[in-house]
Structure 1
């Protein structure tokens, strides 16, 4: 009985199906190993261009395609996986952008990302919002109510977006500028700087900032004839003037910008 079992076991091991499976296992590279090979090739290509040590981390983000920082002589880059097989001209532009912030290189990289956006993992705006901390109600201003009233008054309720106060920025030195609002087309979320949530900041000014960001939902970023991104096209600026307190809000900003720059926001 023992011998019969051994023979059957031997037959199973020497069967064509089993042999093919073993050969495939020994030949086919593991996905992680293949990724490491491509990453090392990319590091070598960038190292040649930057003439410095390079460490690349590959990600599958849905929004930020590339970030970088320099730690002494080492360049650390976080890149979307679309860059793994990028052509030489894109690698050259990437090196120029990292090294000097070259404007033409930035344009070329934007075009490359646009051509390869099919490789960006699709995540619905609702799914992206679940990852965010939504806090539309502040101590002095309710962004949700402001958004709803502006949406009905100017857009017939057609703006499908969410709104929140942004997180308190980590600032150790006096601000020289302030980004009072932003709009993410991916998540369809409007963020308002928490420095605006003060009793001295009038409601009409907060409304103007919210209205401005709502217009970004209507007028998407596009490229001009020179290839540069145009965030505020002429029709955007004309539409913004329809805001009922447009001149008054502009005047308040001119007179009180220092107040917003000095504002201390608690986390």
Structure 2
């Protein structure tokens, strides 16, 4: 007697061409395509508020979060990518700041940037300095030697910063003000205005300006009682008075500020 045979369930595999499989798989937008979409949305949001043509460029800078310029009937803005998904009140503040230089709008933008600083790419001071051309030796004053001596005398050589002359600014007509020094906390670089590199500018005055910027390395900017950013807290001002030629340097500035304003520096 023949035994009954058990039939097996056979699942036949179907073959699909590679092109058909590719069509069936969900497509994921490319990052660059998404960026273009978000950028166009941001341009449209600004355009409705500025009532003008707007061109936006998105960047990933670590220092300057926004810049803008007006070219005839168009506003051109360079913005950090944190602004792509900014709420309406921030976009309105951005429009007010671009159109009128509104001070309150500037404050709102500062607060937004402070709240979103986690999106700013972290770069070490050493990496940032590699991008900067350091030129501390001038024709008349060697900033490196001045910095080293002040660092040893007042700070026990604990100030780990670099120093350089800044670029010669392009100024048309007489200056109304002059920024003689600056300190960048992110790169820890002190920049001194090249107008100070003149034989008529005494060494003790250059030392005072360098000393002032070194103090910015010690005393960081903070918010005051009124909520505004304070770059010269009381302890900063008290420490500055310890400079050996403080009164003499101040007196020279009062008498010779016009000389510095009139000076023309070759680039």
TM-score exceeds 0.5:
yes
Tell me, what secondary structure is at the counterpart of 1:70? strand
Uncovered stretches (5+) of structure 1, i.e. residues with no partner: 1-9
1: distance between equivalents of 2:97 and 2:18? 57
Tell me the CA shift for residue 227 of structure 1. 2.4
For 2:238, the equivalent position in structure 1 comes to 238
For 1:165, the equivalent position in structure 2 comes to 165
2: distance between equivalents of 1:54 and 1:226? 35
For 1:56, the equivalent position in structure 2 comes to 56
For 2:85, the equivalent position in structure 1 comes to 85
| Count of residues paired in the alignment | 254
Q: What are the within-5 Å matches in structure 2 for residues 1-267 of structure 1?
A: 11=15, 13=17, 19=21, 23-24=24-25, 27-267=27-267
1: distance between equivalents of 2:126 and 2:83? 28
Uncovered stretches (5+) of structure 2, i.e. residues with no partner: 1-13
> After TM superposition, what 4+ stretches of structure 1 lie above 6 angstroms from structure 2?
none
Tell me the CA shift for residue 14 of structure 1. 5.2
1: distance between equivalents of 2:249 and 2:15? 85
For 1:4, the equivalent position in structure 2 comes to none
For 1:5, the equivalent position in structure 2 comes to none
For 1:3, the equivalent position in structure 2 comes to none
2: distance between equivalents of 1:95 and 1:120? 22
TM-score normalised to the size of structure 1? 0.91
Deviation digits for residues 88-112 of structure 1 (CA, Å, limit 9, x no counterpart): 1111111111111122211111111
Tell me the CA shift for residue 175 of structure 1. 1.3
Tell me, what secondary structure is at the counterpart of 2:63? coil
CA RMSD of aligned residues (A): 1.7
Deviation digits for residues 139-161 of structure 1 (CA, Å, limit 9, x no counterpart): 11110010011111111111110
Deviation digits for residues 16-39 of structure 1 (CA, Å, limit 9, x no counterpart): xx93x6545x62111111101000
